[in-house]
Amino acid sequence: MFGSRLRAAMDEHGPLCVGIDPHDHLLEAWGLSRTVEGLRKFSLRTVTELAGNVAAVKPQSAFYEQHGSAGVAVLEETLAACREHDLISVLDIKRGDIGSTMGAYARAYLDPSSALAADSITVSPYLGFGALEPAFGLAEAHDRGVFVLALTSNPEGAEVQHAQCGEAVDGFGGSVAGSIAGQVAARNWAHSPQEPGRFGLVVGATIGSAARELGFDPTDCKGPILAPGVGAQGAGIRELIDVFGSEAIADNQILATTSRAVLSAGPDGVRAAARSLNESLTQVG
């Protein structure tokens, strides 16, 4: 199952996930043009350098989509390279819609017959958690993972995620974020009671005490937690422990995500930067 496969990769390669975010300034710093060909060279070199050194990579779809169909073709190549190198992909698309539209998104990114299929994707539950059912169903059918946005680190997110929506349920508090976490937990317990769940949360590494103040522990979701914000955004091992606790980190439940802290090292420094940051994230004691 995806949850067990991800946990095994983290056991072997550490907790780091590197975002493939081809910003224009990074392309220039790598000596590449701000073109589709520059995008291609950047992405494929990143995958090659990181394979066998990190548990996963997280291509950000928007940086490819902005180049139109040629950019999407590069994203297809990048995902294929991940498969070739046995490197777990978390495609950051944050899709969330209803009915047949969500079904089409799910087929695009989770059906193995699609050139855009990834090992896992990010989704947004803010059209209703139940609207994500097509993604959950295909993830089950094809052994993929789904990370649901719960508590993000951007300040604007609090107006929705921190809002109170009713009584606390099953220990997850009465907030919108707590409700999402509780529903992910229920799904994991129903579908994978004996092993790590395939359904996870996105919880920012820089949120501090926000989850505690909202009355829930995101690690109770029984699935992996994608934690953006490590490195250039200010989070390190101390911040991860503050948000998630040392036990969840030691158990490799937290997939700590960075981008600039590794990619800014340049093509010849990516591997060493990833290894160094990875090592720093294992110093729990």
- Annotated catalytic, 94? yes
What is the separation, in whole angstroms, between the first and last Cα of the chain? 30
pLDDT in tens, 192-235: 888 999 999 999 999 999 999 999 999 999 999 999 999 877 78
Helix (H) or strand (E) holding 62: helix 61-65
Q: Which tokens belong to 97? A: 């819609």
Kindly name the residue from 41, 58, 94, 222 that is annotated as catalytic.
94
Angle between helices 99-110 and 133-142 (to 10 degrees): 30
**113 Cβ neighbours under 8 A, 6+ residues apart:** none
The residue that leads in pLDDT, 285 or 41, is: 41
Domain ranges of the chain: 2-206+218-280
Q: Are 178 and 166 in contact (CB under 8 A)?
A: no
pLDDT in tens, 16-26: 999 999 999 99
CA distance 98 to 237: 38
**Residue 169, number of CB atoms within 10 A of its CB:** 15
pTM score: 0.97
CA distance 133 to 25: 38
pLDDT in tens, 43-101: 999 999 999 999 999 999 999 999 999 999 999 999 999 999 999 999 999 999 999 99
The CATH-assigned architecture of domain 2-206+218-280 is Alpha-Beta Barrel (3.20)
